Amino acid sequence: MTHATAPSATTAVRLMPPVPGSLEETGLSGEFVTDLLLKTLYVQGARTGAELSAFLKLPFPLLDDLLIDLQQRRYVEVRGTRGVNRASYVFDLTGEAGRGRARESMDTSQYVGPAPVPLAQYRHWTHLQSIRHARVTRREVEEGFSWLVLPQETLDEVGPALNSGKSLFLYGDAGNGKTAIAETMARLIPGTMFVPHALEVDGHIIVTYDPLYHRRVDGVDPMATAATATAATAMESLFGNDIPFDPRFVEVHRPVVMTGGELMMNQLDLQYDENAKMYQAPFQVKSNGGVLIIDDFGRQRVEPRELLNRWIVPLEKRVDFLTLHTGGKFPVPFDTLIIFATNITPTDLVEEAFLRRIHYKVRVESPDRPMYERIFQRICEDRGIAYDPAAVDQVYHEFYQKHRIAPRGCHPRDVVDHLFDIASYLEQEPALTPDLVHRAGRSYFLDFPTAV
């Protein structure tokens, strides 16, 4: 049910968080950034001002005032210079005073990385980049799904679900492409967005950017480039003149987070590292602005009702509540399109009250004969062998009808893959010969007699 070429998302107009012009505009306290500077020097050793700026993702003038203060307090000293300006100075911790002060900061939190974004700014930018602002047209949906063979009726149900930015049940028999549909829906959502490296909540650090789910748009970090440039170019960039957006954010394609049967309830809460004294954001936070796919829903280690109970308020209010290890609770945006893909009838999973909160329900049907033939033909084209309608007749007669097996969308791909494996073993050219089709079917479908 697949084809070689996957669809690409439409690009929308970008909203860019502005580069902070002052420490106040970062939303962080001077004490917080000072601790981050000390910890960076403690872990990484002597660094130039340009390198500190690039690593912490803050323009150098915001850091320079703090570095001057640290020099005056004899926590930091200048070890040398690589240019003519303070961004080229090499800064390092002083002996016991500087290193002792840095160790105190490390005892509070061992986070060393880009300066975080305060929760209030994160809420603001999540709202501006909301999944609810994304729109797709019928033509875009048809083009995006052209690599799959689906009824027009299904496409016309998927499109409005995408535009809703709410929640969706994809259900139906196994092997008909529910996961492929969910992943294609995610790729169709237009535009890019900005995700912070980390959040700051009451002094606690929550890491949000995850390269596993967040794909950078261009792969270029302007601050890192500036740190390795010539002194003059570096100063221009590090003063914010050449930085297009707040570098504490990363421009990414809208995230797609998928989890399946391994999902557990504790993964929906903050993951606290007691040693590092910082948090990892849960799945639903990492998927904000994009799509969260719960594959094989109903087969998790957690009961479906328990999972939906956890999300009953977020699904309606679009706000989730997370709890710090200290017991403090705080609200975060729940701005994700959740797709539940399941082989189980939804009414067998949860009652009507829960289903009402899942706004769209799309049944993915098994292919009829014409659809099946189109899928088979596409698979043959993709694998580079000649399509023969007689092979479909043989599969229907020899396996589906004789053994009362229902056709599924994945069968043509799997049968052809088996045929290639067998042909390779027999040192034959792969082709839809009756013998190879028979051998492929026998090795794929269950409960067949040994005699031909």
Secondary structure (3-state) at 438:
helix
> For 144-189, how does the pLDDT look when each residue is reduced to its tens digit (9 = 90+)?
999 999 999 999 999 999 998 888 889 999 899 999 999 999 889 8
Token duo for residue 174? 């196994």
Percentage, residues of the chain above pLDDT 70: 90
Model confidence band, residue 301 (pLDDT cutoffs 50, 70, 90)? confident
**pLDDT beyond 80 at 292:** yes
Q: Contact at 8 Å (CB) between 411 and 175? A: yes
Query: Worst-scoring range by mean pLDDT, 97-101, 117-121, 241-245, 404-408?
Result: 241-245
> For 43-57, how does the pLDDT look when each residue is reduced to its tens digit (9 = 90+)?
999 999 999 999 999
CA distance 293 to 167: 10
**Domains of the chain with CATH codes:** 25-115 (1.10.10.10), 124-214+255-363 (3.40.50.300), 369-444 (no CATH)
What mean pLDDT, rounded, does the chain reach?
Answer: 88
Model confidence band, residue 7 (pLDDT cutoffs 50, 70, 90)? very low
Side-chain-facing half-sphere of 169: CA atoms under 13 Å: 23
In terms of DSSP H, where are the helices of 318-410? 346-349, 352-355, 369-383, 389-395, 402-403
User: Residue 224's pLDDT is what?
Assistant: 54
Q: Give the count of beta carbons closer than 10 Å to the beta carbon of residue 260.
A: 14
Handedness of CA 351, 352, 353, 355 (dihedral sign): positive
Q: Which amino acid is at 16?
A: M
User: Residue 235's pLDDT is what?
Assistant: 45
> Which of 78-82, 238-242, 370-374 has maximum average pLDDT?
370-374
Residues 6+ apart with CB under 8 A from 342: 169, 170, 171, 178, 296, 297, 298, 349
Percentage, residues of the chain above pLDDT 90: 70
Question: For residue 347, how far is the Cα from the chain centroid?
Answer: 29
User: Residue 452's pLDDT is what?
Assistant: 37
Model confidence band, residue 11 (pLDDT cutoffs 50, 70, 90)? very low
CA distance 182 to 409: 15
CA distance 399 to 380: 19
CA distance 112 to 439: 59
CA distance 146 to 225: 40
**pLDDT beyond 80 at 274:** yes
Please give the DSSP secondary-structure letter assigned to residue 396.
I
User: Residue 241's pLDDT is what?
Assistant: 56
Model confidence band, residue 12 (pLDDT cutoffs 50, 70, 90)? very low
Q: Name the burial class of residue 110, with classes exposed (0-12), middle (13-18) and buried (19+) by CB atoms within 10 angstroms of its CB.
A: middle
CA distance 338 to 167: 5
Model confidence band, residue 225 (pLDDT cutoffs 50, 70, 90)? low
**pLDDT beyond 80 at 337:** yes
For 255, phi then psi, to 5°, come to: -70, 150
Place of tokens 């479909």: 392
Token duo for residue 134? 């994304």
CA distance 154 to 363: 8
Mean pLDDT of 416-440: 97
**pLDDT beyond 50 at 108:** yes
